[in-house]
Amino acid sequence: MKKLIVYNLETNLDSPVLAATHDWLVSFADHFDEVTVYSTHVGRHNLPHNVKVVELGGGSATKRLIAIGRLSRSFLVSIPKRKQLLVFHHMSTRTLLILGPLYRLLQVKQILWYSHSKKSMSLRFSLGYANKIFTSTQGAFPFNSRNLKYIGHGIQTQRFREAYRNSKVVRRDAIALGRVAKIKKIEEAIHAIAQLEFSKIRLICVGNQDADLSYTTDLTKMSQESKVEILFKGAINYSQIPSELANYEYVYTGTPGSVDKAVIEGACAGCFVITSEESALQITGMAKIWVQLGHKDIPDLANQFKILSNLGEEEKERLRLRLSEYACSANDISQTTKTIMQELDLL
């Protein structure tokens, strides 16, 4: 009987940032008889019958003490199950750091999924406790490790594929999906669009804005000076993202080093990927599209917009379909979890 313990930050279908974690749990439930999830925060979820969710909590000093107690108990109750057990730390480096040595003493296999370029002390000092570390692309993990494996992202791609196929709108504009922050380099997209002589491409930012609105103010001023229309729509529920993406011709990412999951989802929904980041071009399949268009070297951002906007509608649709198929096949959550199981010799 195979059992899985998952430590994650949030299990909540309504989470504006971490709702996709739910898809990982659904997919892993196909491979294990029993899945127990310990989440810092728990909200609405709809998981298979063999998945149990426990909220650790946090916030006040009292709640943190309760969380520590529950975290300790999660280890103690796992001791009798240790011979059938696998532990999965999903973006949860602190649990790997705290509980990793204890599970290592029990000879329980532990895996870490981490896909972010940000370095942290908990990540650095916890790496030695993981038997395997999985991430999406080379730029999505900030340290070197002999246990590291690049396997693409884990996305429930079917809903994005369906949104693309069901969409009847005429695509035109570009979307930047995710938090509106300086690290996203949205100003580079504005500069690129401004260089188009006859284009009326708008840039739509869908996501929360930083509490300090200075960056949003700067973008607004820049767009007015460049005569590029930019709109800020705010965050939307994760369930709305597939149909939202299917409205756009382009999805933009400027985040250096790592790959925003949103840009992969955009490619799955048939959006052409506009970026200077090589890892984003590779993982979405957009690099293959540029090769098919006869470009050995990736054009700069302005020329990416220009070349793609000048294609005929039939050619666009053919390339969109190919892009969607590649992005979906390379990043589907069922394939991701299957690869993890194979790497651990559990299949």
- Domain range for residue 17? 3-154+332-343
pLDDT in tens, 219-229: 999 999 999 99
Do residues 65 and 32 lie in contact, with contact meaning Cβ atoms separated by under 8 Å?
no
Question: What percentage of residues in the chain have a pLDDT greater than 70?
Answer: 99
Q: Are residues 82 and 197 in the same domain?
A: no
Q: Are residues 172 and 70 in the same domain?
A: no
DSSP state of 149: E
Render the burial of 54-63: b for 16+ CB within 10 Å, e for the rest.
ebbbeeeeee
CA distance 107 to 104: 5
Q: Are residues 177 and 134 in the same domain?
A: no
Q: Is 35 helix (H, G, I), strand (E, B) or coil?
A: strand
pLDDT for 198: 74
pLDDT of residue 297 exceeding 60, the answer is yes
Token digits for 281? 């071009």
pLDDT in tens, 63-112: 888 888 999 999 999 999 999 999 999 999 999 999 999 999 999 999 99
10 Å CB burial of residue 52 (0-12, 13-18, 19+) is exposed
pLDDT in tens, 171-224: 999 999 999 999 999 999 999 999 998 778 999 999 998 878 999 999 999 999
pLDDT for 347: 56
Q: Are residues 217 and 295 in the same domain?
A: yes
CA distance 2 to 128: 24
Do residues 191 and 226 lie in contact, with contact meaning Cβ atoms separated by under 8 Å?
yes
Q: Are residues 108 and 130 in the same domain?
A: yes
pLDDT of residue 124 exceeding 70, the answer is yes
Q: Are residues 59 and 135 in the same domain?
A: yes
Q: Are residues 187 and 233 in the same domain?
A: yes
Q: Are residues 144 and 249 in the same domain?
A: no
Domain count, the chain: 2
Q: Are residues 74 and 178 in the same domain?
A: no
Do residues 250 and 172 lie in contact, with contact meaning Cβ atoms separated by under 8 Å?
no
Q: Give residue 96's identity as a one-letter amino acid code.
A: L
pLDDT for 273: 98
Q: Are residues 168 and 109 in the same domain?
A: no
CA distance 8 to 21: 8
CATH number at residue 306: 3.40.50.2000
pLDDT for 345: 85
Q: Which residue has the higher pLDDT, 138 or 14?
A: 14
CA 278 to chain centre: 17
Question: Whose CA is closest to 196, among 172, 214, 232, 212?
Answer: 172
Q: Are residues 56 and 140 in the same domain?
A: yes
Question: Whose CA is closest to 126, among 150, 149, 142?
Answer: 142
